Each structure stands twice: as C-alpha cells, then as structure tokens.
C-alpha cells in the first residue's frame, strides 16, 4: 500500500521537476521565436549596411553594428590581458593566504556590482577624472572593468585544468617559473581561456547601462573615427527604438529587426564558445 503510494508520489514529483525544465526551455523558445517572427521581415541587406534615415524611421543599423563591434574590441584589448594576468597570479604564483583570499572575495563582489554602478564609476573616473570625455574609449574601459571578473574566473578555470606534471616537467629541466608557464602551461590553457573570454565579451556586447553615460549616442551622422569619438551601439539603439523614439509604433518593426540582429550576434558568440568547450572536453577525455 505505502509502496504504491510512494510510487505515485514519485511519479508526480518527477513530473513537477520535468515541468520546471520545460518551463525554462519554453521561456527561451518564446523569446527567440517572438523576436525572429516579428524581426525577420525587417532584416535585409540594406538594414545591415545602411545608416538610419528620416529621423530614424527608415534605413538600417550599420553604425550601431560597427559601434558595438569597436567597443567590444576595446573591451577585449583591456580585459583579456588583465583577466589572464590575474588568473596566472592566482593559480601559478600565489599561495593560499589572506591576500589571495581578499583578491577572491573582491572578484566575487565585483561580479555582483550592478552594471549601472559600473556606469557611474566610468562617468566619474574615465569621463571626468581622466578627461576622456564621453567617447568609445571610456565606454570600452567601463565595459572591460565589468567583464573582468568573468575573464579572471574563466582563465583560472582553464589554468586549473592543466596537469601539474606539465609544470614540473619543465621546471625539472631547469626552466625558470615564467619559462615553464610560458612554454608549458599557457599554450595548453589558451583554448580554454578563449571560451570564457568569448562569453564575457558577448555579455559586454549586449550591455547597455555601463555605456549609457560614458559614450553612446542617440544618433550620429558619421561613424566613430577615433578612440575619442562617440558611437552608436546595438543595445542602446534597441532601447531608443523601443521607448524613446517619437513614433514608437511606426518604428516597432525596426526595433524588432535590431533586437533580432543583437540576439543573433550574441547567440552566435555563445554557440561558438559552447562548441569550443565541448570539443575541448572531448579531447581531454580521449
């Protein structure tokens, strides 16, 4: 009797847990299909390659795509070396002590700092103190601070996966510590680092709040020519088209189109990272 009741409870319980996963998957499916169904008709060659025209009611989003690309590149230039450096310190040089504990606590807390607070910090430090003004460089720097914790965690994970024997072999042959790291650790860790790096950059490419006051522009008739120019960005463009434009209903299709380009861009970056990681795992198992 109790056995049968237990069996029924178990079936119901498992059913509920399965339902939870189904709900999560459904949410993703709904988001993607909604954007793609409404957005695909706006996508055309002109939409990708032309600038907005007629008070942003017509034309394309090319300046926003270019702006997002450049700001992501700047983010990568600053955050990848700093993230890797910190990870190398934590995993290769540091011993477990108060100082490294403090570093780890800082990393975890930086990861939890709201993106708008990074924006405020960027305004104060880069725009005002360093007199960069609102520009693509200030935005890139702000975004690289925001992605730094992700970069460090991912790089450290990759370093941890390199067997100790790789380092020992090199040291035993008389290499210095840095030589051992450079020749026997880093080359094998870099693909793993790359995975986390791509994920971090995809986050940066989709972020709006940190660039809001540090350099992104509503509309620009020209492309950024240097590091000290303002720029347009895809996520901010979507925000404007969805809420700030003077005729929101008229530009709704363009907003959907922008959302689709953004979501596809970020999805591709993530998919790339996931495939790369899957391959790495498979190689390691073999």
Partner 1 sequence: MGSGNCNDSENKLSTRNKLSLSKKVKEASIHGCFLFNGLLVILILIGIFALLVWASIPAFKEISIKEFLFSFNWNPTSYVKPSYGILSMLVSTLMVTIGAMIFAVPISIGTAAFISDIASSRVREIAKPVVEILASIPSVVIGFIGITLVGPYIAKIFNLPDGLNAINGSILLGVMALPTIISLTEDALKGVPKSYTEASLALGATKWQTIIRVRIPAAASGIIAAVMLGMGRAIGETMTVLMATGCANAMPTSFTDSVRTMTSAIAIELGEVAYGSTHYYALFAVGLALFLITFAVNLTADIIFNRRPKL
Q: Which of residues 57-86 bind partner 1 (CB under 8 A)?
A: 82, 85-86
* Contact code string over 152-171 relative to partner 1, x by CB under 8 A: x-------x---x--xx--x
| Number of residues lying near partner 1 (CB under 8 A) | 99
Only segment of 5-13, 50-58, 188-196, 220-228 that touches partner 1 (CB under 8 A): 5-13
d(CA 262, CA 267): 8
CA Rg value for the chain: 23
Give the one residue of 4, 54, 95, 222 binding partner 1; rule: CB under 8 A. Answer: 95
d(CA 50, CA 36): 21
Give the one residue of 61, 76, 80, 90 binding partner 1; rule: CB under 8 A. Answer: 90
30-52 per-residue burial string, b: 16 or more CB within 10 A, e: under 16? eeeeebeebbeebbeeebeeebb
Q: CA nearest 119: which of 143, 137, 135?
A: 143
In whole angstroms, the minimum distance from the beta carbon of 186 to partner 1 comes to: 12
Q: Which residues pair with 58 in a beta bridge?
A: 53
Using rule CB under 8 A, residue 121 touches partner 1: yes
Q: Which residues from 171-210 bind partner 1, rule CB under 8 A?
A: 171-172, 174, 176-178, 199, 202-203, 205-209
**Maximum alpha-carbon separation in the chain:** 78
The phi, psi pair for 216, rounded to 5°, reads: -80, 145
Using rule CB under 8 A, residue 235 touches partner 1: yes
29 vs 226, beta carbon nearer partner 1: 29
Using rule CB under 8 A, residue 41 touches partner 1: no
């Amino acid at each position: 009797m109790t056995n049968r009741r237990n069996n029924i409870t178990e079936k119901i319980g498992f059913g509920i847990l399965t339902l939870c996963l189904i709900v999560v998957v459904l949410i993703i499916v709904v988001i993607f299909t909604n954007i793609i169904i409404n957005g695909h008709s706006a996508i055309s060659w002109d939409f990708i390659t032309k600038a907005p025209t007629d008070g942003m009611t017509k034309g394309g989003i090319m300046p926003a795509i270019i702006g997002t690309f450049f700001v992501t590149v700047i983010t990568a230039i600053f955050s990848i070396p700093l993230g890797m450096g910190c990870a190398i310190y934590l995993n290769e040089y540091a011993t477990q002590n108060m100082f490294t504990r403090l570093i780890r606590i800082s990393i975890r807390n930086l990861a939890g700092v709201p993106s708008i607070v990074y924006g405020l910090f960027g305004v104060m430090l880069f725009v005002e103190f360093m007199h960069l003004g609102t520009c693509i460089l200030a935005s890139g720097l702000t975004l690289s601070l925001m992605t730094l914790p992700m970069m460090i965690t991912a790089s450290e994970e990759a370093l941890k996966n390199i067997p100790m024997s790789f380092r020992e072999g090199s040291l035993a042959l008389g290499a210095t510590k840095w030589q051992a790291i450079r020749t026997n650790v880093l080359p094998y860790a870099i693909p793993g680092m790359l995975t986390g790096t791509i994920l971090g950059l995809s986050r940066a490419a989709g972020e709006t709040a940190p660039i809001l006051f540090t350099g992104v522009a509503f509309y620009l008739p020209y492309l950024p020519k240097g590091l000290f120019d303002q720029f347009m960005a895809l996520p901010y463009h979507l925000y404007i088209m969805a809420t700030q434009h003077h005729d929101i209903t008229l530009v709704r299709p363009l907003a959907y189109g922008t959302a689709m380009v953004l979501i596809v861009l970020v999805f591709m970056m993530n998919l790339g990272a996931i495939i790369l990681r899957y391959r790495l795992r498979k190689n390691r198992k073999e």
